[in-house]
């Protein structure tokens, strides 16, 4: 409603009161002029609350308002997207997104057989091929001469039965000898059949693995990586060059092999990303600052690489130096700071020496000095001590 006036007259006579005679300035015929007045005299409004229009009501009628909520579009799973800062207090930061990997892709042991089974199967296949050759009468000439008449006793020629026997014996021999594998300590095989993960082999020694499975060798030993110097910065934003030593190993072979294209390249990328977020202690910093930077780098890299099956134990800066573009300026700044510190120490020792000399002379009564003579003596002693310090210095 957008009205600002009311048809209520300004003066309404009360029954039985003196106002029945009319207002003092009313016309003689007794008719009263009705003037509309404003409800709010000091300002004009364009909206009036509803309860102000019904003054006879004991209480204002409650008005239900719809909550001002902006509808959010659901994602592909049918769930409303979570805002970036939702769940974080005024003093908290939104947690960074963590890479997600297929939850079903978890390392599990593969089914393998002892190597003796493969050897027996291969020997049986080779023996079956020899027996089939004797049966068909196609033994090599040397073997036929060695066997004599017995080599041609059961010769039946190459028929369908003989070819089927050859195929079965040959397949048994190929599967037996082709599946033999030797496991090493610190090495593992990730088995894959037609694009599907079939398990991981961490056993050592001779074993038999299905020859149809694709084998991917993975090094699961404790390893260290020391790369080339990377760009970094200290707390003041000064450019640095840092060489890092990363101690890590493969914890989940399935995720490290199938969850990412190259887990070593992924580790290097995570280390570079951590250097951008963590300030590194400048050269010459204290042990506490170095350990704090090392702990922060280790936590960040371990959190980023854990979803892909890598376990990071330590990320240690082994060499920290200023970048070439700022190395000269920082060297001059360091020399200036050391020179100022040296001058301050020399001046302090000279002042202490002058004060001690003057105090001893006056306290022992060797000389009596007024203010002017004291100032002259202090000046001469200061010049003498400073000259002596300068000649004795490097």
> Highest-confidence range of 51-55, 230-234, 339-343, 370-374, by mean pLDDT?
230-234
Mean pLDDT of 264-272: 93
Task: Give the other-Cβ count within 10 Å of 308's Cβ.
Answer: 22
Q: Is the pTM of this model over 0.85?
A: no
pLDDT in tens, 180-196: 999 999 999 999 998 89
- Quote the pLDDT of residue 390: 56
pLDDT over 90, % of the chain: 32
Give the residue, 24 or 379, on which the prediction is more confident. Answer: 379
pLDDT in tens, 373-388: 778 888 888 888 777 6
The average confidence (pLDDT) of the chain is 76
How far apart (Å, rounded) are the C-alpha atoms in residues 280 and 271? 13
pLDDT in tens, 1-12: 444 444 444 444
pLDDT over 70, % of the chain: 66
pLDDT in tens, 98-136: 667 778 889 999 999 999 999 999 999 999 888 887 777
Place of tokens 């090599």: 140
> Highest-confidence range of 66-75, 87-96, 224-233, 270-279, by mean pLDDT?
270-279
How far apart (Å, rounded) are the C-alpha atoms in residues 2 and 166? 102
pLDDT band at 14 (very low <50, low <70, confident <90, very high): very low
Mean pLDDT of 248-273: 93
pLDDT band at 149 (very low <50, low <70, confident <90, very high): low
pLDDT band at 50 (very low <50, low <70, confident <90, very high): low
- Quote the pLDDT of residue 377: 81
């Amino acid at each position: 409603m957008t009205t600002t006036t009311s048809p209520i007259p300004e003066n309404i006579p009360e029954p039985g009161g003196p106002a029945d005679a009319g207002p003092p300035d009313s016309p003689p015929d007794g008719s009263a002029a009705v003037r509309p007045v404003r409800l709010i005299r000091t300002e004009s409004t364009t909206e009036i609350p509803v309860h102000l229009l019904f003054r006879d009501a004991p209480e204002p009628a409650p008005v239900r308002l719809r909550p001002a909520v902006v509808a959010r579009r659901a994602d592909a799973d049918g769930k409303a997207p979570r805002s970036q800062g939702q769940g974080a207090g005024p003093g908290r930061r939104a947690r960074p997104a963590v890479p997600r990997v297929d939850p079903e892709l978890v390392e599990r042991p593969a089914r393998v057989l002892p190597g003796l089974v493969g050897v027996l199967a291969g020997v049986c296949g080779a023996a079956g091929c020899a027996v089939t050759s004797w049966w068909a009468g196609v033994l090599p000439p040397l073997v036929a001469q060695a066997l004599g008449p017995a080599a041609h006793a059961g010769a039946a020629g190459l028929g369908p039965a003989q070819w089927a026997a050859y195929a079965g014996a040959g397949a048994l021999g190929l599967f037996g000898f082709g599946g033999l594998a030797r496991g090493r300590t610190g090495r593992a095989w990730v088995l894959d059949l037609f694009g599907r993960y079939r398990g991981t082999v961490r056993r050592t020694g001779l074993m038999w693995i299905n020859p149809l499975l694709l084998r991917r060798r993975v090094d699961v030993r404790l390893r260290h990586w020391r790369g080339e110097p990377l760009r970094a910065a200290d707390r003041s934003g000064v450019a640095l060059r840092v060489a890092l030593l990363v101690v890590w190993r493969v914890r989940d072979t399935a995720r490290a092999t199938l969850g990412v294209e190259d887990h070593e390249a992924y580790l290097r990328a995570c280390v570079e990303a951590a250097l951008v977020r963590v300030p590194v202690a400048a050269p010459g910093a204290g042990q506490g600052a170095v350990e704090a930077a090392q702990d922060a780098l280790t936590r960040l890299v371990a959190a980023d690489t854990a979803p892909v099956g890598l376990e990071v134990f330590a990320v240690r800066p082994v060499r920290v130096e200023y970048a070439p573009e700022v190395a000269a300026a920082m060297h001059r700044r360091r020399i200036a700071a050391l020179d100022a510190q040296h001058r301050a120490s020399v001046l302090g020792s000279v002042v202490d020496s002058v004060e001690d000399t003057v105090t001893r002379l006056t306290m022992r009564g060797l000389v009596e000095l007024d203010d002017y003579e004291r100032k002259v003596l202090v000046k001469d002693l200061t010049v003498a001590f400073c000259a002596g310090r300068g000649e004795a210095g490097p």
